[in-house]
Chain A
């Protein structure tokens, strides 16, 4: 069990966070840079002393500003993976992993470090210096080092952001396995919602020093509590004015023209959010062939292939992004400049008052 409460003014930003992580659980905090994610980890680790705060790890109090308790960082058993890994450049991989193992003979330290490196598939890289390791290997050494002392709490700061896209997918899967095995309560911070959703048992969205919403990844995606959360989880966000239609559904007059329907209830100024993969594309000027209530005319401005999916940038009354299959792009013969209709269900349309 890890509990962190912190109030701390950081320049313009007021960090004001309260969170609890259970044993064996990984809480992933996602938010834009400058939201206070790293500062929160530093408070937990004892590298930053907040003006007001409390940190409890298992049955020990590490920080209580009211009672004047502040256990120094070196005595808190935190496994901390730094954003750029902070490997000691003059030490080999095994010496990095063995650094926290003091009071043992060189033989014992080597044996323990080798055991950890083997677990991470790095046994043959034990003598390599960090600058000769690949990004993915460096990341694994950093995680192995953080685990070497058997930490009570695991803190990971953007553990995948220093990796290239291809390495990241593999590294994320491996890290996920490590986190599932670990019993230590874990806080992971990232600027990437998809990464948080993949690695966290629960995800918190952090913005401007506060956790604005906390839940399972699917809860956050399905019921974003604010336009920021919707936008951050990858949704398309449109703005407009909502009123209840005679049918009971809500009609939203979009700024810039066009109307959409949602099954959510709302009145007045709203943010409309819909996920790009909910949006289908039809050629302009044809009769509607789906059951989708919402139809907006748009022009294709960009076509980006991501794996087997294609992201279409659309210029309509407000910008839209649709994610469709490669096959449908080919079937429709889409090119930049093509006139299309973007369609989606009223049930896939979330409304948030702004």
Chain B
């Protein structure tokens, strides 16, 4: 064999190893139980509760992330000010925090005995061991995924579009809604999908900050952890559901990206 062929063979072997290692566990979830088993174990009330709670909490946190994160990302993308780089780094920090650290950080800040705990309690808001706490945990870990992507998407929009909008008599708020958001939409959608995936799979911070109470704070990942030692089939069924949802999210990101490549979205 020539040296070049050896190298190609090495590349192929590495790819095959990676592919096997990464797909085998996921495939196993579906192989280990029949579809009938999966559906049957989903009938169990705790499992449905967890699914419903995951969807509710994720939807709420994504809504918060979009409403607050989109204007914040626009500001970061279109203005330069002293300390901008520091602000961006601080916003991205939760990306690299271990989930356990995120949980501790939330407890120390907005937990019952945290820095802001008294004020939150006085306002009559209950976070720990409440669904609202789950939303806080999901928002904390998922928002950097969206904001980061949204800043990049806004920054990539040709600035002369904003200038054009101004010379055509439109306010910046008008341009933000009518020009910037539509033009940056593929990037914003990709960021939303990433945040959605992260929020759906959130485990550590939720467990530490909100606890694991069925129907109140027990999301699907917590429910899987709760029953993997006692009811493996039901844990498998919930896992399968998460795999399906996550795959759907990944696929939709690819489709949006594909649209971009096909020239549906602007350069």
CA distance A84 to B158 in the complex (A): 10
A88 at the interface (CB under 8 A from B): yes
Return chain B residues, CB-CB under 8 Å to A47: 163, 166-167
Asked if B229 lies at the interface with its beta carbon under 8 angstroms from chain A, I say: no
* A100 contact from B170, B182, B267, Cβ within 8 A: B170
* C-alpha spacing A80/B166, complex, angstroms: 10
Instruction: Tell me whether A74 and B266 are in contact (CB under 8 A).
Output: no
Known contacts: A131-B263, A131-B266. The answer to whether A86 contacts B161 by CB under 8 A is yes
Q: A84-B160, A86-B163 are in contact. Are A145 and B183 (CB under 8 A)?
A: no
From known contacts A82-B160, A90-B183, infer whether A45 and B169 are also in contact, taking CB-CB under 8 Å: no
Point out residues on A near B: beta carbons under 8 Å.
Answer: 42, 45-47, 72-80, 82-84, 86-90, 99-100, 102, 131, 145-146, 148-149
> Which of B158, B166, B263 gathers the greatest number of chain A CB atoms within 10 Å?
B166
The 7 closest A-B CB pairs, nearest first, are: A89-B266, A100-B168, A86-B164, A86-B160, A80-B167, A73-B166, A90-B182
Q: From residue A177, how far is it (CB to closest CB) to chain B in Å?
A: 23
- A–B complex contacts, Cβ < 8 Å, 6 sampled: A45-B163, A47-B167, A79-B167, A84-B158, A90-B266, A145-B168
Interface residues of B in 154-178 (CB under 8 A from A): 158, 160-161, 163-171, 178
Chain B residues contacting A86 (CB-CB under 8 Å) are 158, 160-161, 163-164
User: Nearest-CB distance from A153 to chain B (Å)?
Assistant: 10
Asked whether any CB of chain A lies closer than 8 Å to the CB of B179, the reply is: yes
Chain A residues lying within 8 Å of B183, measured Cβ to Cβ, are 88-90
Q: What A residues does B179 contact at CB under 8 A?
A: 88
The count of chain B contact residues (Cβ–Cβ below 8 Å) is: 21
Nearest-neighbour CB distance to chain B for A96, whole angstroms, equals: 9
A149 touches B169 (CB 8 A): yes
Contacts beyond the supplied A80-B164, A102-B170: 7 A-B pairs with Cβ under 8 Å: A46-B166, A74-B171, A86-B164, A87-B164, A88-B161, A89-B266, A145-B168
Distance in Å: Cβ of A103 to nearest Cβ of chain B: 10
When chains A and B are docked, how far (Å) is the Cα of A313 from the Cα of B220?
A: 77
Give Cα A148–Cα B169 distance, bound, in whole angstroms. Answer: 11
Contacts of A82 in B (CB 8 A): 160, 163-164
Report B251-267 CB contacts with A as 1/0, cut-off 8 Å.
00000000000010111
Known interface pairs A86-B158, A88-B183; A100-B266 also in contact (CB < 8 Å): no
**Chain A residues, Cβ within 8 Å of B168:** 74, 99-100, 145, 148-149
Q: Is the CB–CB distance between B165 and A99 below 8 Å?
A: yes
Residues in B whose Cβ lies below 8 Å from that of A80: 163-164, 167
Cβ-closest chain A residue relative to B164: A86
Which residue of chain A is the closest to B185 with respect to CB atoms? A90
Q: How far in angstroms is the closest Cβ of chain B from A91?
A: 8
Q: Contacts of A75 on B, CB cut-off 8 Å?
A: 169
With the chains together, A99 CA to B182 CA distance in Å?
14
Q: Which residues does chain A contribute within 8 Å of B166, judged by CB atoms? A: 46-47, 72-74
Residues of A within 8 A of B265 (CB): 89
- In the complex, the answer to whether B169 meets A100 with C-beta atoms within 8 Å is yes
Interface 0/1 of B12-41, CB less than 8 Å to A:
000000000000000000000000000000
- Residues of chain A with a CB closer than 8 A to B163's CB: 42, 45, 47, 73, 80, 82, 86
